[in-house]
């Protein structure tokens, strides 16, 4: 198996495992595919940094002219370090600190996606102290069911996100009366790994009715941010094609004169990366056959956290009979699994490829069990760029101290 022109086995030999490998071509082509349906439309695609904040990945999108959706001061710093344009940044998140607001105002970001009335009051105050005016959208919670995993559904009434639809007009009126707030848009984001178009259209329908209500109150918005959330194929899911999704949105907009913002994360990177891991031990027991690999839930948390499925294949498949394996890591938790019941023909030392590992994979990695974080690589043709060195054991406790 190759990433572009680079054999995965050679990458694993040279750089070790576990190791994330991304394809620059896949990143680029996926971004361009997202943009094709938007040729004649005023738009900005803001890559959701949380899906994959590696500077190498961000730099690929920055060169393609992407904007970025951030949720922390750390993500803003990464975007700037990667060569991203702060003027194309939207700042989402329910808990922005005053310091994060200041940093974003200094950087001159495109828009704050404000998620509550209290946040609006604080932003007005922080901007006032700096003699600045903050560009604002309200993230409105449209109360639609995204039909996805409950942990990643965000657009329902009982979620912590956004301003309740019923309160939105009143909060916009408050914003309009504030000296250091400038209303630019309206924003929503209903969840992640959504595999149907209809929840997006239901949400947009509500947003458009809000825009009408605002216009009646003499409040105009210059952009609508439809959020992210479009799903990918991990197993047998059939998410809408990008052009079907953007076309449905454009139809619903019905030529309304607004700039259109998108915040895709997973859809741009999820299938552009894999996690390489080596089989350390095969351990047959009475009830199960375990393949113990050198990657674990600290490297890829999605299976443990959401019971998420990632396809797992051998880099060099063996001919012959397969066995059903539990693919597990070395961490001391029963929840430390990467895949259940995978039919593979394995020997100790084999290299496995965990697919669809470009999104919410390395970005959710931890040091649990004092495991150093994996290396990250971007392949460009035959060139192999290490975009994150493997963490050293000594890195793990450089900020810690013994008691005197």
By annotation, the residues acting in catalysis are 332
Residue 263 binds ligand LLP (CB under 6 A): yes
Pick the binder of ligand LLP from 67, 229, 240, 303 (CB under 6 A): 229
Shorter beta-carbon distance to ligand LLP: residue 11 or 226: 226
Interacting span for ligand LLP (CB under 6 A) from 116-124, 258-266, 377-385, 389-397: 258-266
Check the CA dihedral 294-296-298-303 and report its sign: positive
Which helix (H) or strand (E) segment is 169 a member of?
A: helix 168-176
The SS3 call for residue 299 is: coil
Interacting span for ligand LLP (CB under 6 A) from 4-12, 189-197, 200-208, 365-373: 189-197
Residue 75 binds ligand LLP (CB under 6 A): no
Residue 51 binds ligand LLP (CB under 6 A): yes
The structure tokens listed for 56 are 């190498």
CA angle 2, 300, 236 (to 5 degrees): 65
Shorter beta-carbon distance to ligand LLP: residue 101 or 267: 267
Residue 358 binds ligand LLP (CB under 6 A): no
Residue count at the site for ligand LLP (CB under 6 A)?
20
Interacting span for ligand LLP (CB under 6 A) from 186-194, 202-210, 318-326, 375-383: 186-194
| Number of residues in the chain | 404
The SS3 call for residue 166 is: helix
CA angle 386, 387, 392 (to 5 degrees): 75
Interatomic CA distance for residues 305 and 232, integer angstroms:
18
Shorter beta-carbon distance to ligand LLP: residue 12 or 109: 109
Binders in 306-325 for ligand LLP, by CB under 6 A: 306
Smallest distance from ligand LLP to CB 399, Å? 26
Q: b or e along 96-105 (b: 16 or more beta carbons within 10 Å of the residue's beta carbon)?
A: beeebbbbbb
Pick the binder of ligand LLP from 192, 271, 277, 356 (CB under 6 A): 192
Binders in 144-183 for ligand LLP, by CB under 6 A: 152
Pick the binder of ligand LLP from 67, 155, 199, 264 (CB under 6 A): 264
* Number of other CB atoms surrounding residue 353 within 10 Å: 22
Pick the binder of ligand LLP from 92, 124, 153, 298 (CB under 6 A): 92
Which helix (H) or strand (E) segment is 55 a member of?
A: helix 55-63
Interatomic CA distance for residues 391 and 386, integer angstroms:
12
Shorter beta-carbon distance to ligand LLP: residue 234 or 325: 234
Pick the binder of ligand LLP from 26, 203, 267, 293 (CB under 6 A): 267
Chain centroid, CA 67 distance in Å: 14
Shorter beta-carbon distance to ligand LLP: residue 20 or 325: 20
Cβ contacts of residue 287 below 8 Å, gap of 6+?
Answer: none
The upper half-sphere exposure of residue 198, i.e. CA atoms within 13 Å in the direction of its Cβ, equals: 3
Strand pairing class (2-3; 6-7): antiparallel
Shorter beta-carbon distance to ligand LLP: residue 86 or 270: 270
Which residues are at the interface with ligand LLP (CB under 6 A)? 48, 51, 69, 92, 152, 189, 192-193, 227-230, 263-267, 302, 306, 360
């Amino acid at each position: 198996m190759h990433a572009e022109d680079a054999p995965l086995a050679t990458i694993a030999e040279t750089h070790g495992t576990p190791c994330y490998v991304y394809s620059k071509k896949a990143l680029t082509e996926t971004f361009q595919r997202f943009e094709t349906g938007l040729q004649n439309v005023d738009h900005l695609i803001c890559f959701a940094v949380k899906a994959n904040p590696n500077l190498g990945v961000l730099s690929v999108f920055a060169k393609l002219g992407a904007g970025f959706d951030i949720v922390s001061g750390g993500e803003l710093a990464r975007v700037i370090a990667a060569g991203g344009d702060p003027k194309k940044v939207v700042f989402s998140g329910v808990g922005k600190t005053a310091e994060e607001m200041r940093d974003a105002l200094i950087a001159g970001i495109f828009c704050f996606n404000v998620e509550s009335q209290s946040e609006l009051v604080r932003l007005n105050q922080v901007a006032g102290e700096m003699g600045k005016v903050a560009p604002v959208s309200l993230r409105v919670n449209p109360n639609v069911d995204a039909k996805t995993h409950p942990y990643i559904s965000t657009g329902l009434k009982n979620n912590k996100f956004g301003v309740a639809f019923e309160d939105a007009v009143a909060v916009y009126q408050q914003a309009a009366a504030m000296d250091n707030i400038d209303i630019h848009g309206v924003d929503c984001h209903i969840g992640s790994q959504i595999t149907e178009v209809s929840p997006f259209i239901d949400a947009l329908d509500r947003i458009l009715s809000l825009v009408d209500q605002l216009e009646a109150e003499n409040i105009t918005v210059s952009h609508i941010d439809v959020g992210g959330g479009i799903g990918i194929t991990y197993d047998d899911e059939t998410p809408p094609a990008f052009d079907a999704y953007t076309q449905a949105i454009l139809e619903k907009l019905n030529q309304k004169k607004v700039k259109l913002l998108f915040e895709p994360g997973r859809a741009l990177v999820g299938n552009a990366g894999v996690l390489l891991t080596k089989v350390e031990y095969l351990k047959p027991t009475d009830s199960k056959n375990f393949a113990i690999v050198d990657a674990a839930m600290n490297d890829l948390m999605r299976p443990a956290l959401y019971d998420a499925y990632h396809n797992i294949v051998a880099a060099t498949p063996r001919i012959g009979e397969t066995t059903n394996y539990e693919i597990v890591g070395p961490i001391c938790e029963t929840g430390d699994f990467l895949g259940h019941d995978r039919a593979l023909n394995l020997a100790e030392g084999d290299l496995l490829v965990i697919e669809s590992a470009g999104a919410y994979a390395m970005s959710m990695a931890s040091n649990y069990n004092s495991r150093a974080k994996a290396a990250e690589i971007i392949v460009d043709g035959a060139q192999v760029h290490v975009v994150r060195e493997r963490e050293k054991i000594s890195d793990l406790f450089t900020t810690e101290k013994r008691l005197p």
